[in-house]
Structure 1
C-alpha cells in the first residue's frame, strides 16, 4: 500500500479481508485518500454558515428579548460548545476514515445503524428540498428584475408553485446534481471557493449599507420582552446556537474522514466555527441594523434586501451569491448525509452517487414549498424527527468515547460475524436507550406545556441518552472483548502510523 498523502488517488482504499457485500462498497469503506486538509474543511464551514439561515440566525436572537451584549455573549458560548462537540464527532471519523452510518454501526449494530442513518436522512432530504426551493426565490427575484416580462409567469399555479417558480426550482435542483459527477471530490472543490465568495459579497453588501446609511447605524434590533426572564433567554440563545448545528454534529465525520490528521480537523473547526461564525454573525447584524437606516425597516432576509438595491449589477451579484450560498449549505448539511445514509441501507446496489440521486428525486416529488408552508408538517413532523438527533448523538458519543475509549476493530464493521453484529445485526441495548430517551425529548420539544424547556430539547435528549446507554451497556462483555482486541492491535503501532494502524485494525478479529 502507498502512504497516505494529498496525492493518493480517490480509488485507493484500505483492504479489509472477509467483508460482506451487504455491508460495504467503495464509498462506505475506510477512506484512504485524505484530501480534505485544514483549508477544505474550513471552507466547508464557510459554506455551511454563509447561508440565508446563518445570516438571519444572530439577528433572530434579538427576538428573545436580549440586548446586543447578551446576544454576543450567547453566540460566543454557544459556538464554543459546538466547536468542542464537533471535534468529538470529527475525530472519530478521522481516526478510522468512516462516514456517519458506519460510525453508528459501532453502537447500534451493522444493521441497526440504519435507524440513526435513516432518521438523519429523513431530516436532510426534507430540508434539502426546502433549501433548494428557498434558493430558487433568489433566482426568481433576479429573473423578474432583469427581464420584467417574466413576471407574467408568476401568476399561475401548478401544484402550489408558479411556472417561473418551477423553472427556478428545477434549475437549482439540477445544479446541485452536477456536484455528483465525482462524488465528494467535486464537492470539496465547490466548497473551496463557494464559502469565501459569499464572504466577499457580504463585505461588499455591508459597505454599501453603511455608506447608504451615512455611517449612522444602531446595533439595537427590536425584540420582545423575555417571557421567562433574561437569564432563561440567555441560556436559550446558547442552546439554540448548539441546536442550529445539531445535524452536522452527527455526520461531520462524513467530511472529517478525508482529513489527513486530527490536528487539521481541530484547526479547521477552530477557524471555521468560533472565528468565522462570530465574524459572520456580527456582519449580518450590522447589515440588518443598517437596513433600518436605509429603508426605514429592519430587513432580515438578505434576498429581499438585495432585491431592493436599485443597481442591476449589484442585484445580479447579490442574487447569484445567495443562491450559491444556499447551494453550499444544502450540499454540506442536506446532501452528503442522505447519500451515505441510503448507501448504508443497500451497499451492493446503492453507492454515494445513487444515494444522492435518490435523495434529490424524493426532494423534488415532495414539492417542498407545500411542506414548508404547512406549519403542522414543519413544526410537528420535522420537529419530532429533529428532536431525535440529540439522543442519537448522546448514544454514539457515550459508546465510542466512554464505553470503548475510542478503540474499534475496524474490519468487523463490515463483516457479517463480528463484534458489532450483536443480535442479527442489531444492538438492542442501543435501540432501547434511544426509544426511552426520544419520547421525553419529543414531548419537551413539541408539547406547549413544556415550552420553557423546548429550546433545551437537544441537550436534554443528548444527556438522557448518554446516561441511559452508559448505564445499560457498561457491563456488556462484548464491548469489553472488542476493546481488548483493539488495544492488542494498537499496541503494536504508533498512533501516528495512521496507515498501518488502520490496516491492522481492518484485519483484526477476522480469525477469532
Structure 2
C-alpha cells in the first residue's frame, strides 16, 4: 500500500488555530505573524527580567579576560564595560523599535530590506551562528551540571573515564550534558510570552552565585586581590578602550540585531525602552566587575593560572576544601545558578530567535518549538567539546562572526529608521510575488547585498590575520580595523545602504498598512491599528 504523501504533509503542518484568519503558507504561520494583542504580555518589568538574564550570565562574568588581554587595567576594564553596556542598551532600543511598533520579529522584518527571497541570507547566517553557539552553551551547561552533581556525590568529580582520550569528553562530562539537555528540552515548550517568571528565578539563582563567590573570595583574599591593582599594559590606551567597547558591543550584538524578536511582545509602546537603557548597562557592568574581582581574589587564594570561568572555579573551590560538607553545599547552590543561567541564555539568545528563523525557512512545517529542537540537534551534532578542545581556528572564526552581524545590523537600522521612517506595508511582507513592494528583482534587493559586502570586505583581512596570528607589522592596521568590527561594519553598511536608497529609490516608501484590515480592541472598544495584528477579524480578510 502506497504512502499518501499529500495526507502526510498535511498532517505534519504546524498547528493553526481554528478561528484564525491567516494561512500556513511559504511565508506565514502563527509564529511569524505580528503578535496579536492577547499575546502581548511584556511590560517594563518583564523587559527588566529579560535583560537581567541577558546581562547577568557567564559571558558577562568572563568578559574581563578579553578586556585585560587588550592591555587595560581592571579599573579601566570596568569603565569600558559601563560605556559598552550603555551603547548596547541604545542599540537594543534602536533595533527593537520595529518590534514595539509593528510587533514583528527579525525573520519577517528583514524582508523589507533584503527582499522576500533575499531575506533568507541573513536568516541563514543567524541560524548557523546560533546553532554553533548553542552547542557550546549546552557544553558549558553540561559542565555546570557536572560540577553540581559532583557537589552532591564527591566521587562523581573523579569518576573513571570510559571514553577515549581522542573524544575530548569524559564520562562525567557526558552525563552532565545529558542531564542539562533533559532540562532544556521541556524549557523550549514554554511560550515566549510566558517566560517572565522563569527569567526571574534564573536571574535570582545566578545572582546568588555571583554574590556568594564575591563574598567568599574577598573575605579570604583580604580584598580584591593583587591582579585588581595591577596597571594596564596597553601601549595605546585609546585603541585599547575602543577595542574593549567594540568587544562589548560584539558580545551582545547578535542579540540586539534580533531585539524585535522580543520587543514584539510589548503590551504597550516604550515598555522595553527604559529596561534596555537601564538594565542592560547595570547588569552587564555589575556581573563583569564581580567576575574581575572574584578572578583576581581567587587567584591569590588558589594560585596557579587565572580561572575566568566560574564553573571551573567552583570545582577548584571544592577541591581546595577537600569536598567538606560546607564547601559542597556552597558549590552545589552556586553551580545551580550557573546551570540556570545557561538554560535561560540558551532559551533567550538561541532557542526562540533561532526557532523563528527556522520557521522562516519553512513556515508550513516549522514553528519556534520545532525549530528550537532542530537547532539543538545540529548544535550537539557539531560536537562542541571537540571544537573547544581542538578547533581553535574555527572558534576564532566563529567569534569573528560579528564581521557579518554588524553590517546586517546597519542595514536593519538604515532601512527601517531612516529610509522607511518606521512605516511598513506589513501585509506585503507575506506576499511572495511581484504584487509585493518587497519583491524587488526576483525577490532580492540588490542594495542590501551591496551594503552588506561593503561592510564585510574591509574586515576580512583583519579576521584572517587574527585567526592565523600574523605578527608582521603590515597586518597591524588591518587587525586594528578588525578589532573595531561592530562599529566599522555597522557604520559602513548603514551609510552605503542609505546612499544607495537615495540614489536608487525603492518603491512603496512612506506607507503603513496593517497585516489585515482589522480592529484592535482597547478596553473593550474597537479602534484602528497602525500596523499591528489581531486574529479577531472578518473571516474573508485573509493573507
Structure 1 segments unaligned to the other structure (5+ residues): 1-10
What residue number does 1:126 align with? 132
In the alignment, does 2:310 pair up with 1:302? yes
Separation of aligned partners in 2, 1:235 and 1:253: 27
Separation of aligned partners in 2, 1:65 and 1:478: 46
Separation of aligned partners in 2, 1:475 and 1:20: 37
**Is 2:208–2:337's contact at 8 Å kept on the other side of the alignment?**
no
TM-score normalized with structure 2 length: 0.83
Of 343, 363, 368, 1:352 maps to 368
What residue number does 1:471 align with? 499
| Aligned-CA RMSD value | 3.1
Deviation at 1:73, TM superposition (A): 2.4
What residue number does 1:455 align with? 483
In the alignment, does 2:392 pair up with 1:375? yes
Of 438, 443, 460, 1:425 maps to 443
Deviation at 1:279, TM superposition (A): 2.0
**Is 2:224–2:296's contact at 8 Å kept on the other side of the alignment?**
no
In structure 2, the CA distance between the partners of 1:22 and 1:216, relative to structure 1 (3 Å rule), is: closer
Of 136, 161, 184, 2:192 maps to 184
Within a 5 Å distance, the mapping from 1:310-389 to structure 2 comes to 310=321, 311-373=327-389, 374-380=391-397, 382-383=398-399, 385-389=401-405
| Per-residue CA distance 1:264-289 (angstroms, 9 max, x = gap) | 11121123212222222222222222
Separation of aligned partners in 2, 1:272 and 1:422: 39
What residue number does 2:11 align with? none
In structure 2, the CA distance between the partners of 1:200 and 1:145, relative to structure 1 (3 Å rule), is: closer
What residue number does 1:284 align with? 291
Count of matched residue positions in the alignment of Structure 1 and Structure 2: 493
TM-score normalized with structure 1 length: 0.88
Of the structure 1 ranges 363-372 and 394-403, higher mean CA displacement relative to structure 2 is found in 363-372
What residue number does 2:7 align with? none
In the alignment, does 2:490 pair up with 1:483? no
**Is 1:125–1:362's contact at 8 Å kept on the other side of the alignment?**
yes
In the alignment, does 2:222 pair up with 1:204? no
Separation of aligned partners in 2, 1:188 and 1:25: 24
SS in 2 for 1:212: helix
Separation of aligned partners in 2, 1:413 and 1:199: 41
Deviation at 1:12, TM superposition (A): 9.0
What residue number does 2:240 align with? 233
Separation of aligned partners in 2, 1:321 and 1:336: 21
What residue number does 2:423 align with? 407
**Is 1:154–1:165's contact at 8 Å kept on the other side of the alignment?**
no
SS in 1 for 2:228: coil
In the alignment, does 2:26 pair up with 1:22? yes
| Per-residue CA distance 1:303-327 (angstroms, 9 max, x = gap) | 2222214311101111111111122
SS in 1 for 2:531: helix
Of the structure 1 ranges 410-419 and 24-33, higher mean CA displacement relative to structure 2 is found in 410-419
What residue number does 1:117 align with? 123
In the alignment, does 2:113 pair up with 1:107? yes
SS in 2 for 1:220: helix
**Is 1:444–1:454's contact at 8 Å kept on the other side of the alignment?**
yes
| Per-residue CA distance 1:308-359 (angstroms, 9 max, x = gap) | 1431110111111111112222222222221111100010111111111110
In the alignment, does 2:154 pair up with 1:138? no
| Per-residue CA distance 1:212-243 (angstroms, 9 max, x = gap) | 234464562557632x5122111111111111
Separation of aligned partners in 2, 1:208 and 1:364: 35
| Per-residue CA distance 1:402-437 (angstroms, 9 max, x = gap) | 111111111111122312122232212212322333
Separation of aligned partners in 2, 1:498 and 1:271: 33
In structure 2, the CA distance between the partners of 1:14 and 1:232, relative to structure 1 (3 Å rule), is: farther
Deviation at 1:43, TM superposition (A): 1.5
